[in-house]
A and B are shown apart, each in its own frame.
Chain A
Amino acid sequence: MIDPVIASRLQFALTTIVHIIFPVMSMGLAPFLIYFTWKEIRTQEQVYEQLRVFWTKIFAISFVVGTVTGIVLEFEFGTNFAAFATAAGELFGGPLAIEGMMAFMLEATFLGIFVFGRDEVGDRLYMLSSIFVGLGTWLSAVWILIANSWMQTPRGFEVARESGQPVISLVDPIAAYANPRFPWMYIHMQNAAVLSVALFITGVAAYYVWTNRDTRFWRKTMKVGLAVLLVTAPFQAIHGDAYGRHVAETQPKKFAAMEAQYDTESSVGLKLLAFPTSLEDVIDPHAENLFVVELPFVASILASGGDPGAQITGLDDIPGESPPVAIVFWAFRAMVGLGMWFILLAFWGGYRWLRGELFEDDLLAKALVGSSVLGIVTVELGWIVTEVGRQPWVIQGVMKTHAGVSAGLTGAEALATLAGFVGVYTALLVLYWYVVVRLIREEAPTRPPALERDTPGREEVVPNDD
């Protein structure tokens, strides 16, 4: 029978990886919806109403799936990580409770008005509802990331031992919750969410503009998406650099694993492209065994904040267990690589836009379509770097992950729920994908003109179509 610790960790990884897709969609869509609602009310233009109605449908389904998968995560702390929940509940439970009351409630109640209430409430309350829904999604991330950042760089607590188990008490709430990691994580996450959704809506729009060059709705979507992409993509890279420096200072093991740096060296270059020269090194990459295209001195500059000769401490020279280097190393490479691609894509689109040829470049359209879900993939990779990179710790330097698992949990129970989640979450993903694609194909307010002539009313096209 499987080890309950391994099964619990796999289950938590699976449920988080699937869950994060939906909050990314709702956090990223929220500012777009606020903008569309505002423009709709201000200009009375039909296209903004269409944009608001259509993207609200995607938002609503993302919110529902995000809610049901999010409740799972809250429960898992109690079911699978009871030892962690008991030891750290005093610090960790508070932010979760506040998240529910402050953020989730705001989002869920005003979503009722936002989705159902366009004709029930006045413009002012309706506008306010869109803002509250957005605020709710963003505040949710505040409290979740306060809790998570405390696990990465814990402060403001004391540890005692009771019959071998750690008991962590809150001593200084400001140190604990105004955690040094929090602003880094929060800005990186929120920008990533908006960037991901900008890529998604630009990609979807590009497909329709490319296949049918006469739709105002999709042209508008593409422009709004690209404008946001132009701001968020470069910003993410600039911010990511500075965030990396913070990681080097506070979690040197994670930073060394990101660069596969086993030995302590000075004047280390940043590996732009790196792949192993032998197959063995794919699963255990070592910086010295890689074929590398690098920017000389840049890793040292990044880690130190300006000194090209700075030393980077290697994994072998930091006491304690290392995280699984290969996962962290490759996830980090892929995240940065995709981030660079997004900047290129944004500038390419921006250049075409400036030349007045945005809708004429087929290659750009294909690139945008192909990149539409890559933003979300990149968010996943970023979280893998963050969460795998801090292993073996559940609370950095305080409590190991395996020590946090529920004591009475049996392998059979853990395996049963893990298998259940593999089935249910696969079905959820398929269903979500199906519904989103179907909404885009069937419910978007524009159709190719030829089709529109054949079937004047949308209502006649939609029912009984299968």
Chain B
Amino acid sequence: MTDPIVATTLGLGDGPLFGLPLARLWFALVFAVFGTFLFLDGFDFGVGALFATRDDAHEREQLLAAIGPFWDGNEVWLVVFGGMLFAVFPEVYAALFSRHYLLMFAILAALILRGLAPEMYEQRHDDAWQRRWGQAFVVGSITAPFFLGVFAGNWLFGVTGVASPASVLVGLAVVALTVVDGAAYLGLKTRGDVRLETRALGHLAQVAYLILAVAALVAGSRSASHVTLLSLPTLGLVGLTVLLAGVHVLAGRADQYYLAFAAVAAQVYGLVALVAILLYPQIDPATGLTVTAAVVSTLPLNLSTIGAGVLLPLVVSYFVVLYSAFSGPVEEQDAYA
């Protein structure tokens, strides 16, 4: 074994950085990163689902062009979420992923399909090929958030089997939310018929999301002992979501697309926050493991904190550069690549 003199000199193993409650901060950060993934890749998923409603080849190209430069970067937030959970709560990472073995591979299959489809769609310009990959894009874009939602539901409700009715409802709610997200995003990136028609679908999905989310909570609080529907944070967040849903619909009607999009983003983070709040102080209800018991020891925790503290602001700056390089609506003649 080597002499741990360097680490000791740095003092990184002695106590949490600046005396911060790092376990709880990381719990929040992991969910914030997941929320960012669900918000950003969520509109990619939603655009993928709405792709099914467009028959015109030109409009389909516009939808692909709207997410073209962004979706690679958006998807990386899922990888970062996985990496962070692994680095800071490895026991939870291992337990959740191995417990939901087949579900994880369903998520992977959906992500593979969704990832390949837009790239493949553009490789050939004949009808049969584009129809197939268009279908693959739609299927991948709907199943990926569905399985991710079921996974989140299983996690929250401590389900140890394949799924429960409550977690299936969470899956459906997440699909509805991504459609809301995608439609709101297309409000910013498109004009004309595409914008108006997807906006109407987004408003329908908004209603569906509210119903499904409440149904999932009711079903979940009956089956899982740790979830109580009638608690202040739950009711507060549900109330806030209803309010934001109203803002989204009204702002959309008034052509205030930025406000509508912001109201949707807030709903996505609200959903993820609700999951985190309902879990806390546990992090894995199926085993009763708490946040403070699951976290790694002080030295690697401090190192991860320094790493994330330096890198995450940089990552945010890349996204600012990327989104400002392609700001504004996609042009009529824009294609995917």
Residue in A67, A93, A424 whose CB lies within 8 Å of B83: A93
With both chains docked as a complex, state the minimum distance between the C-beta of B236 and any C-beta of chain A, in angstroms.
32
Tell yes or no: A175 within 8 A of B by CB.
yes
Q: Which of A297-333 contact B (CB under 8 A)?
A: none
Proximity string of chain B (176-212) to chain A, C-beta cutoff 8 Å, 1 when within and 0 when not = 0000000000000000000000000000000000000
Q: Which residues of B103-119 have CB atoms within 8 Å of chain A's CB atoms?
A: 104-105, 107-109, 111-112, 115-116, 119
Q: Is the CB of B94 within 8 A of A68?
A: no
Select from chain B the residue with minimum beta-carbon distance to A158: B1
Report B304 CB to chain A, min CB distance, Å: 6
Q: Report if A466-B73 is in contact (Cβ < 8 Å); known contacts: A78-B98, A101-B308, A113-B322.
A: no
Docked complex Cα distance between A156 and B303 (Å)? 14
- Pick the residue among A64, A78, A439 that contacts B104 (CB under 8 A): A78
0/1 string, A91-129, CB within 8 A of B gives 1? 111101111111011101111110111001100010000
Partner of A420, one of B6, B86, B105, B125: B105
Q: Which residues of A contact B3 (CB under 8 A)?
A: 172
Contacts of B68 in A (CB 8 A): 112, 115-116
B86→A93 contact, CB < 8 A: yes
Q: Which residues of A contact B80 (CB under 8 A)?
A: 97, 100-101, 104-105
B7: which A residues are within 8 A, CB to CB? 171-174
Question: Once the chains are docked, how many angstroms separate the CA of A75 from the CA of B79?
Answer: 9
Q: For the complex, give the distance between the alpha carbons of A435 and B311 in Å.
A: 35
Compute how far the CA of A75 lies from the CA of B109 in the bound complex, rounded to whole angstroms: 12
In contact, B296 and A85 (Cβ under 8 angstroms):
no
**B72 and A89: CB pair below 8 A?**
no
Decide if A117 touches B69 in the complex (CB within 8 Å). yes
Say yes or no: is A430 at the interface (Cβ < 8 Å to chain B).
no
* A261 interface residue (CB < 8 Å to B): no
Contact call B297/A109, Cβ cutoff below 8 A: no
* Distance A389 CA – B167 CA, assembled complex (angstroms): 44
Residues of B within 8 A of A174 (CB): 6-7
Contact B300 A90 (CB under 8 A): yes
Cα(A454)–Cα(B80), bound, Å? 51
Return the CB mask of A140-161 against B: 1 if under 8 Å, else 0.
0000000000000001111000
Docked-complex contact B73 and A105, CB < 8 angstroms: yes
Whether A61 is near chain B, meaning CB under 8 Å from some CB there, is yes
Contact (A82, B95) CB under 8 Å given A97-B87, A172-B6: yes
Q: Is B102 within 8 A of A413, CB to CB?
A: yes
- Smallest CB separation, B74 vs chain A (Å): 8
Question: How distant is B6 from chain A, measured CB to nearest CB, in Å?
Answer: 5
* Residues of B close to A74: CB separation below 8 A: 79, 82-83, 86
Nearest opposing residue in chain A for B316, CB measure = A105
Shortest Cβ distance from residue A162 to the other chain B in the assembled complex, whole angstroms: 11
Q: CB within 8 A of B115: which of A67, A92, A413?
A: A67
Inside 8 A of A417's CB, which chain B residues have their CB? 101-102, 105
Decide if B125 touches A75 in the complex (CB within 8 Å).
no
A290 to B86, CA, bound (A): 47
Which stretch in A272-280, A373-381, A457-465 binds the other chain?
A: A457-465
- Name the one of B12, B97, B307, B337 contacting A97, with C-beta atoms under 8 angstroms: B307
> In the complex, A78 Cα to B69 Cα: how many Å?
30
State the Cβ distance, A426 to closest chain B Cβ, in Å: 13
A97-B80, A113-B325, A175-B6 known; A90 vs B120 contact (CB < 8 Å): no
CB atoms of B325 and A75 under 8 A apart: no
User: Is the beta-carbon distance between B2 and A90 smaller than 8 angstroms?
Assistant: no
- The answer, among B83, B87, B102, B319, for a CB contact under 8 Å with A109, is B319
A234 to B115, CA, bound (A): 38
Closest to A132 in B: B318
Could you tell me if A75 and B97 are in contact, using CB atoms closer than 8 angstroms? yes
> Which residues of B are found within 8 Å of A169, using beta-carbon distances?
297, 299
The yes or no answer to A63 lying at the interface (CB within 8 A) is yes
A465 → chain B, closest Cβ, in Å? 7
A78 touching B94, Cβ below 8 Å: yes
Query: B98's contact among A99, A113, A406, by CB below 8 Å, is which?
Result: A406
- Name B79's contact: one of A60, A89, A100, A406 (CB within 8 Å): A100
**Other-chain contact of A435, B96, B104, B120 (Cβ < 8 Å):** B120
Contacts of A356 in B (CB 8 A): none
User: In the complex, what's the smallest C-beta–C-beta distance from A349 to chain B, in angstroms?
Assistant: 32
Contact partners of A431 in chain B: CB under 8 A: 116, 120
A sample of 23 cross-chain residue pairs with beta-carbon separation below 8 angstroms, ordered by A number, consists of A67-B72, A67-B115, A71-B79, A74-B83, A78-B86, A79-B104, A93-B86, A93-B87, A93-B90, A93-B93, A94-B87, A96-B83, A97-B83, A97-B88, A97-B304, A105-B76, A109-B319, A111-B73, A173-B303, A416-B102, A417-B105, A435-B123, A462-B125
The 4 closest A-B pairs by CB, nearest first: A89-B90, A78-B97, A93-B87, A97-B83
Chain B contact residues, CB within 8 Å of chain A: 1-7, 12-13, 68-70, 72-73, 75-76, 78-80, 82-84, 86-88, 90-91, 93-99, 101-102, 104-105, 107-109, 111-112, 115-116, 119-120, 123-126, 296-297, 299-300, 303-304, 307-308, 311-312, 315, 318-319, 321-322, 325-326, 337
With contacts A120-B325, A406-B94 known, what are 17 further pairs, Cβ within 8 A?
A: A83-B94, A89-B90, A90-B300, A93-B88, A93-B90, A93-B93, A96-B87, A97-B84, A97-B87, A101-B80, A112-B69, A112-B322, A116-B326, A170-B300, A408-B99, A428-B116, A462-B125
